[in-house]
A and B are shown apart, each in its own frame.
Chain A
Amino acid sequence: MFVLSAPLTISFDYTRSLGPVLGRFMTALRERRVLGSRTADGRVHVPPLEYDPATHAPVIDLVEVRPTGTVTSWTWTDRPLDGQPLDRPFAWALIRLDGADTALLHAVDAGSRELMRTGMRVSIRWAADRTGHIRDIACFQPGEVTDGPDRRDDEPVTVMTTPIRLSYTHTTSADESRYLYALADGRLLGQRCPVCRKVYVPPRVCPADGVPTEEEVAIRDHGTVTTFCVVNVPFAGQRLDPPYVVAQILLDGADIPIPHLILGLPADQVRMGMRVAAVWRDPESWTTTPENIVHFRPTGEPDAPYESYREHL
C-alpha cells in the first residue's frame, strides 16, 4: 500500500495596523520618500524602530534619508522564489541608505552577479503603483539615478495588507491511507485501540493511550447525530446555501463521531439522537476522499436514546 499525499496550497492576507512610526514610514514610501527613526543616541534607523532599544522610550523623531545608499552585504539568487521582488536573477543585499546608520534588506536588480560587490552604490527603483507598503520600493538598482519625491498625499497610511501563499505536500499516515483506500471501495474503516478497545474512525493513534491502533474494524454507514450546528453565515468558498446543518455523527460500531452534513430535511428539524445514513456518490466517481459521501440523510428510525451517545458529545 502506498501512503497517500496530495498538494495543499494555503493563502490568506495578513492585514496589519501600522501605528504611528510605521504608518508614517509607509505613508512616506507612497510619496517616494524614506524616513528613518532617530534614537536618543543620535543614530538613524532604517527601517525605523518604534522604541528606542536603549531608553525604551517611544521613537517620535522621524527624519528623511536619501534614496541612495551603500551595499554592506549581498548574495546572489539564480532562481527567484514565488513572491520575491524580481522574477529574474538578482542580489539580496543589506543596504545602508545615505543618512542612515543601519541597513535595510532588499533586492538589487544588478543583472549579473559580477557587478555586485560590498561597498557598491545603489539607489531605489520605485514601484509605479504605490500603496504605502514596503514593496513601494520595487527594488534597488546600481548607481545613483532616482526619481524625486512624488506629490504629497494628505490621507495617512494606517494599514498594510500582505498576501501569504504557501504550497505544501500533505502526507497521510499509513492508517489514514488505509481509511482513504477503503473509502474508494465504498467502505468505512475503523481501527481498535489494543488498550482501551475503543474504535477510531478515521484511524489514529489512540489519544487516550498514546499507542497505535492496529485491529481493523468495518464500520456501518449508519449512525446517530450526537450534536450539530446550523450554519446561517455565508462565507468565501461556501458550497451550500445557508441555512444547513453540520453534525457530529457517531457511526454504529465507532467510539468517536465524525463531522458531516445532514441534508434532506429542513435545518430546524435536525435533532440530537436522530438516526442517519450516508448518501454515497455514484460509485463510478469514488476516489480516496471523504467526499465520496455527499451527506447524511435521516433514516426514519426512532431516535437513539441519549445514554447511547452521551459519552461522545
Chain B
Amino acid sequence: MSVAVIGFAQAPCLPSAGTTSGVETLVPVFRRALAEAGLDRHEVDFWCSGSSDYLAGRAFSFVNAVDAIGAYPPICESHVEMDAAWAFYEAYVKILAGEAETALVYGFGKASAGLLRRVLALQLDPYTVAPLWPDSVSVAALQARCALDAGVVTERAMAEVAVRSRADASANPYSQLSGVLDLDDLLARPYLAEPLRAHDCAPVSDGAAALVLACGERARRHPRRAWISGVAHRIDPQGLGERDLTAAPSATAAAEAAGLPGDLDVAELHAPFTHQELLLRAALGLGERVRINPSGGALCGNPMFSAGLARIGTAAEQVMSGRARTAAGHATSGPALQQNLVCVLEAS
C-alpha cells in the first residue's frame, strides 16, 4: 500500500473557544500532529484544509488560517469548502499521483460564532429551499421521521446510541459531552424538533484537527502508521424529496468502492444525529462485532469542518496504537447524509 496516516491531533471540542479566525486554535494542533509524525513543517509537501467562511462570517477565512502554517518560503496549499475529510481525499490523491510525498490536512471552524443551525441552511438548494431558511436540526428531524415511519429505526434505538456514545466519550479527553445517561429518562424528555430530542443531536462545537499523510517509502520510516487500503466518496441528489431519506445509498456506494472489509474491527462514523448512526450502520453493513465510535463520535463533539477528518484520524489512531487491525473512518457533508466518504485503514 502506498499511503499511510502517520500523525493526528485535534483540539478539544468546546461549546465556545478561541478566536473567529481559527489561527490560534490551529498552531498547537499542527505542532502536535507534526511531532507525532516526526516531521518538520518544512518537510510537508502539500497542505490542504476544509473550512467555511459562513461559520466565521468573513470572506477568505481559510487564507487567514494559512498564517498558522508559516507560508514562507512559498508552500503548496489547497482548500475545500467542506469537511476536511474531503481535503484528506484531495491530499491522498495528490500523493498517489506522485506530486507529493507528505501532506498535512486540517479542518477548523468556530461554529459558535453564529447560529449554526441557521447558517447551515445556506448549504441547501439556493433557489427553492435555502430562501425558506429551514434549519439543519429540522432537516435532520424530517429524515428521522421518515426512518421512524418506515420502521427502520425506533426512538429507543436512537436513545441507545446516545447512551453508548456518551459513555464511550468518557475516555476521550477531546469530547465535549460525556457521562452516564439513563435510557428511560431520555425518552421522557421533551422534543427539540420532533422526533428529535436534545440527546439525538450533536452539540455545537468549536474545534480543529490535523492529520499527516505520507507515501509508502516515507511512511515505512515511521514506527506508527495506519495504511490506507481504500478511500471513496459518493453523493446523493441534493433535493431532499428526490431521495429515500431512510437510506444512504451514497454511503453504501462509497463503502463498496473503498473496499470496506467484512472483518472490520472499528468504525468511526460521522453521525451528528442518533438516527444517522443507525442508518449508516445499515448502509455500510456493519455487524454486531464492529466497535462503533469508541471515541464517542460526533454526537459528543461535532466541530464543523473537522469532525469528519477527526473520524478518520481517530480510526487511524486505533490502528496505530494496535487496538484495531482494521478500522474505517467515515465522514458526511451536506444535509441528511447527502454526501459520504469512507476511508479504510489497516495495520499492514
Interface size class of A (residues with CB under 8 A): 35 or more
Q: Which residues of A contact B67 (CB under 8 A)?
A: 204-207, 210
The reply to whether the CB of B79 lies closer than 8 angstroms to some CB of chain A is no
Q: CB distance A10 to B57 under 8 Å?
A: yes
Binds B, one of A161-169, A283-291, A297-305: A161-169
Q: CB distance B146 to A170 under 8 Å?
A: no
A171 and B125 contact, Cβ closer than 8 Å, known pairs A77-B193, A205-B24: no
Q: Which residues of B contact A102 (CB under 8 A)?
A: 239, 241-242
The reply to whether the CB of A125 lies closer than 8 angstroms to some CB of chain B is no
Q: From residue 1 to 49 of chain A, which have CB atoms closer than 8 A to chain B? A: 3, 8, 10, 14, 16, 18, 22, 25, 45-47, 49
Q: CB distance A134 to B128 under 8 Å?
A: yes
In the docked arrangement, what's the CA distance between A174 and B17, Å? 12
Type the 1/0 row for B62-82, where 1 means its CB is closer than 8 Å to any CB of A.
Answer: 000011111110000000000
Q: CB distance B41 to A210 under 8 Å?
A: yes
Q: CB distance A105 to B57 under 8 Å?
A: no
Q: CB distance A47 to B193 under 8 Å?
A: no
Query: Which of chain B's residues has its CB closest to A162's CB?
Result: B131
Q: CB distance A164 to B68 under 8 Å?
A: no
The reply to whether the CB of A103 lies closer than 8 angstroms to some CB of chain B is yes
In the docked arrangement, what's the CA distance between A156 and B125, Å? 22
In the docked arrangement, what's the CA distance between A174 and B71, Å? 22
In the docked arrangement, what's the CA distance between A106 and B142, Å? 11
Query: Which of chain B's residues has its CB closest to A175's CB?
Result: B24
Q: Which residues of B contact A135 (CB under 8 A)?
A: 131-132
Q: Which residues of B contact A110 (CB under 8 A)?
A: none
A73 and B145 contact, Cβ closer than 8 Å, known pairs A92-B138, A205-B68: yes
B residues near A, CB below 8 A? 18-21, 23-24, 27, 30, 41, 54, 56-58, 66-72, 110, 112-115, 117-119, 122, 125-135, 138-139, 141-143, 145-146, 149, 191, 193-196, 237, 239-242, 245
A residues near B, CB below 8 A? 3, 8, 10, 14, 16, 18, 22, 25, 45-47, 49, 53, 72-77, 81-85, 92-94, 96, 102-107, 113, 118, 133-135, 160, 162, 164, 166-176, 204-212
Q: CB distance A45 to B242 under 8 Å?
A: yes
A206 CB to closest chain B CB (Å) equals 7
B293 CB to closest chain A CB (Å) equals 25
Contact partner of A204 (CB less than 8 A), chosen from B23, B113, B125, B241, is: B23
A94 and B71 contact, Cβ closer than 8 Å, known pairs A10-B57, A205-B23: no
A214 CB to closest chain B CB (Å) equals 12
Q: CB distance A73 to B245 under 8 Å?
A: yes
Q: Which residues of A contact B143 (CB under 8 A)?
A: 73
Q: CB distance A83 to B138 under 8 Å?
A: no
In the docked arrangement, what's the CA distance between A209 and B56, Å? 24
B83 CB to closest chain A CB (Å) equals 20
A172 and B19 contact, Cβ closer than 8 Å, known pairs A76-B193, A82-B118, A210-B68: yes
Q: Which residues of B contact A82 (CB under 8 A)?
A: 118, 133
In the docked arrangement, what's the CA distance between A102 and B19, Å? 43
Contact partner of B132 (CB less than 8 A), chosen from A53, A85, A113, is: A85
B64 CB to closest chain A CB (Å) equals 9
Q: Which residues of B contact A103 (CB under 8 A)?
A: 240-241
Q: CB distance B57 to A168 under 8 Å?
A: yes
Contact partner of A96 (CB less than 8 A), chosen from B68, B114, B130, B241, is: B241
Q: Which residues of A contact B115 (CB under 8 A)?
A: 81, 167
Query: Which of chain A's residues has its CB closest to B30's CB?
Result: A210
B24 CB to closest chain A CB (Å) equals 5
Contact partner of B133 (CB less than 8 A), chosen from A22, A81, A133, is: A81
In the docked arrangement, what's the CA distance between A207 and B239, Å? 42
Q: Which residues of B contact A169 (CB under 8 A)?
A: 112-114
B135 CB to closest chain A CB (Å) equals 6
Q: CB distance A73 to B146 under 8 Å?
A: yes
Q: Which residues of A contact B191 (CB under 8 A)?
A: 76
Q: Which residues of A contact B57 (CB under 8 A)?
A: 8, 10, 166, 168, 170
Q: CB distance B142 to A94 under 8 Å?
A: yes
Could you list 5 A-B pairs, sorted by A, with CB under 8 Å?
A74-B145, A76-B193, A103-B240, A170-B20, A210-B30
Q: Which residues of A contact B69 (CB under 8 A)?
A: 210
Q: Which residues of B contact A93 (CB under 8 A)?
A: 142
Q: CB distance B24 to A173 under 8 Å?
A: yes
In the docked arrangement, what's the CA distance between A53 and B191, Å? 37
In the docked arrangement, what's the CA distance between A81 and B195, Å? 19
Query: Which of chain A's residues has its CB closest to B117's CB?
Result: A81
Q: CB distance A22 to B127 under 8 Å?
A: yes
Contact partner of A212 (CB less than 8 A), chosen from B20, B27, B125, B130, is: B27
In the docked arrangement, what's the CA distance between A121 and B241, Å? 17
Q: CB distance B21 to A173 under 8 Å?
A: yes
In the docked arrangement, what's the CA distance between A14 and B91, Å? 33
In the docked arrangement, what's the CA distance between A77 and B193, Å? 6
Q: CB distance A53 to B70 under 8 Å?
A: no
Q: Which residues of A contact B113 (CB under 8 A)?
A: 168-171
